[in-house]
Amino acid sequence: MATIFDIAKKAGVSITTVSRALNGYSDVNEKTRQHIMAIAEELNYYPSAAARSLQGKKTNTIAFAPLLNQHVEAEPFFKEFTGVMALACFKHDLSLLVALVDTTRNVEEIYRELAGTGRVDGIVLSDIKPVDERINLLLRLGIPFVAFGRTTGYADLNYPFVDVDGVAGLETVVDYLYKKGHRRLAYLSGPLEMSYAFHRYEGFLRGLKSHELHEDKRLVIGNLQLPEQAYAAIKQIFSLPAAEQPTALVAGSDDLALHVIQAVSDNGREVGSGPDQIAVTGFDDLPFAAYLQPGLTTLRQPITTTCTALLELLVGMLKNKDELAPVLPELPGMVRVGPKQVLLIPELICRESA
């Protein structure tokens, strides 16, 4: 690899001049610049990223560092999100460093390293938990970051985040089902240690309450991760006395809904919105939701908007460290709940499953 030195030698000037010429400084003779540029081109020169960032320069790279859940549960969403994030970064002329975090190791250390090694300008955090040490860690380290999701405390939401409003989402779903005549609703949830699952469940409860329904603990099953667990849960529910069985199954994610639909069929029932059918709903509206048979009624998680907002926020912080609130464009379904806090309202997509 050619260095700035090689160019300087060949051009018969100092490395200072080369650096200035290449970086478009004004105080360089136009002729000299042309000459230097030509030689750089000829030598296939590209500045070393390492050397640059050693000078405190930006890396133009941000990290996306999700926790690696063993549960396949997160997988389809993870892939979708990562892909969209890569596309969003591309539009901002950023590279995306995907660094999965092994939760069986010392998580804090991994983030500390990511932040400390200076390979990235900022971090997109995800898989936020109700109480999440990573946030305080990054806050303390002074690393620019933005969270996809939020903690559940209300006092300490003093960090930048973008979240999809799971509470509002599930209230909408319950309301929809209520109006369709459902009175006995079951709720199937993924790992409740995650904020998003917690919020969705919370929304489910609020939905019940607003219609003066009460929660039947036997119809609420949480921490479902593997397909088998979902199957077992459904089987258990359908073994209740007929009068106590639910007419609608509300799943906390599309992935879960997928297994639920299978399990319902396996139990000799039919999924759908008809009178003798079992209603099933999901959350996410991943591409496959539309292809299921029957089509899945679900809440659309606006992934593209989410990524746009996350990056807009992060890039804004990177540009002017001082400015409190980066100018966020108004995006559809967006509610600003703080200077750097955004909530996105998921949209109910009605198909045939409920």
Rounded distance between C-alpha atoms, residue 52 and residue 19, angstroms:
11
CB-nearer residue toward DNA: 19 or 136:
19
Rounded distance between C-alpha atoms, residue 144 and residue 177, angstroms:
42
> In degrees, to the nearest 5, what angle opens at C-alpha 304 toward C-alphas 298 and 306?
85
Site for its own copies in 279-298 (CB under 8 A): 287-288, 291-293
CB-nearer residue toward its own copies: 165 or 284:
284
Among the listed residues 14, 34, 38, 54, the single contact to its own copies using CB under 8 A: 54
Site for its own copies in 293-322 (CB under 8 A): 293
* Smallest distance, its own copies to C-beta of residue 78, A: 6
Question: How far lies 154's CA from each of 130, 131, 151, 159, 345, in Å?
Answer: 11, 11, 8, 12, 19
Residue type, 155: A
First to last CA, the chain: 61
Site for its own copies in 130-159 (CB under 8 A): 141
- Specify the pairing of strand 341-344 against strand 161-164: parallel
CB-nearer residue toward its own copies: 120 or 220:
120
- The 8-class DSSP code of residue 329 comes to P
Interface stretch with its own copies, choices 32-40, 97-105, 214-222, 226-234 (CB under 8 A)? 97-105
Rounded distance between C-alpha atoms, residue 54 and residue 121, angstroms:
13
Binding of DNA at residue 232 (CB under 7 A)?
Answer: no
Lookup result for tokens 């993870």: 78
Residues in binding contact with DNA, number by CB under 7 A: 33
Rounded distance between C-alpha atoms, residue 165 and residue 199, angstroms:
8
Binding of its own copies at residue 87 (CB under 8 A)?
Answer: yes
CB-nearer residue toward its own copies: 71 or 112:
112
Q: Which three-class secondary structure state does DSSP give residue 79?
A: helix
The answer to whether the beta carbons of residues 271 and 298 sit under 8 Å apart is no
Binding of its own copies at residue 260 (CB under 8 A)?
Answer: no
Sequence-separated (6 or more) residues with CB below 8 Å from residue 329: 312
Given its own copies, DNA, none, residue 225, with its beta carbon under 5 to 8 Å by kind, binds none
Interface stretch with DNA, choices 26-34, 126-134, 195-203, 314-322 (CB under 7 A)? 26-34
Cα-to-chain-centroid distance, residue 329: 19
* Smallest distance, DNA to C-beta of residue 118, A: 8
Among the listed residues 34, 38, 57, 210, the single contact to DNA using CB under 7 A: 57
Lookup result for tokens 């200035």: 20
The answer to whether the beta carbons of residues 145 and 122 sit under 8 Å apart is yes
Site for its own copies in 31-50 (CB under 8 A): 44-50
Binding of DNA at residue 52 (CB under 7 A)?
Answer: yes
Given its own copies, DNA, none, residue 322, with its beta carbon under 5 to 8 Å by kind, binds none
Give me the residues that bind DNA (CB under 7 A), please: 1, 3-5, 12-17, 19-20, 22-23, 26-33, 45-48, 50-52, 54-57
Give me the residues that bind its own copies (CB under 8 A), please: 1, 44-54, 59, 61, 68, 75-76, 78-80, 82-84, 86-87, 89-90, 95-100, 102, 112-113, 115-119, 141, 287-288, 291-293
